Amino acid sequence: MPSLTPDLTLLGLLAVQPQHGYQLLGHFRDDGDLASVWSLSTSQLYAVLRRLETTDAVRTQSVPSAVAPERTVFFLTESGHKRLLTWLHEPAPAASIRSVRVEFLSRLHIMRLLNLPTTLLIARQRTACLERQRELVEQRDASVPGVPFLALELQIAQLDAILNWIDRCELVPRS
C-alpha cells in the first residue's frame, strides 16, 4: 500500500479554486476543515506543492497584491485534474483504519466541496471494509487462542465500529 500523503487532497482543494500557500495551509490549521484529518506543517505543504509542480499536476502564477508582497498562486492542471478524478473514484479503496480515517475522509471532504455525489464513494468504502472484515473473521476462526487471536478480534471490532460510522456519513449534513 502506498504511503498516505496530502498530495491528492491538495489537488482537490485547488479544483475548488486556485489558492496561494497560506490559503491552502488554512485548511489544515486547528480551525480548518482538514485539521482533524491531516497534520501538515508549512514546510511539508510547500514540499508537496513543489512535488506536484514537478509532476505537472499544478502550475503557479505570481499575483501582485496591493496590501502584501506578491503571492504565488497554485492552479490545477489538466494532468492534476485527471489524477484527482482517478483518486476520487477509486473503485477499490483500502480498508485499513488509517486509510479510512485519512484517505476516505479526505475524499469525502473534497467531493462535498466540489458538490459531487458521495453515495458511490461511501458504498465502495463500505464494501472494502466488509470484505476485509470477512477475511479477518476467516483468519480468526482458523487461529488458535492467544495474542494473534486477540489481535484479529481487535481488528474485527474496529471494522465493526467503522462500518457503523460509515453508515452515518451520508446523514451528516454538508458544511
Report how far apart, in Å, the C-alpha atoms of 9 and of each of 62, 132, 152 are.
23, 25, 31
Q: Identify the helix (H) or strand (E) that includes residue 117.
A: none
Q: Is 160 helix (H, G, I), strand (E, B) or coil?
A: helix
1 pLDDT tier (thresholds 50, 70, 90): very low
**pLDDT (tens digit, 9 = 90+) per residue, 92-130?**
999 999 999 999 999 999 999 999 999 999 999 999 999
- Adjacent-strand bridge partners of 59: 75
**pLDDT (tens digit, 9 = 90+) per residue, 34-88?**
999 999 999 999 999 999 999 999 999 998 878 878 899 999 999 999 999 999 9
When pLDDT is averaged across residues 1-21 and rounded to a whole number, the result is: 88
Looking at domain 1-88, its CATH architecture is Orthogonal Bundle (1.10)
DSSP per position, 127-156:
HHHHHHHHHHHHHHHHSPSSHHHHHHHHHH
Q: Is 19 helix (H, G, I), strand (E, B) or coil?
A: strand
The sign of the dihedral angle between the CA atoms of 42, 50, 61, 112 is negative
175 pLDDT tier (thresholds 50, 70, 90): low
How far apart are the C-alpha atoms of 10 and 6, rounded to whole Å? 6
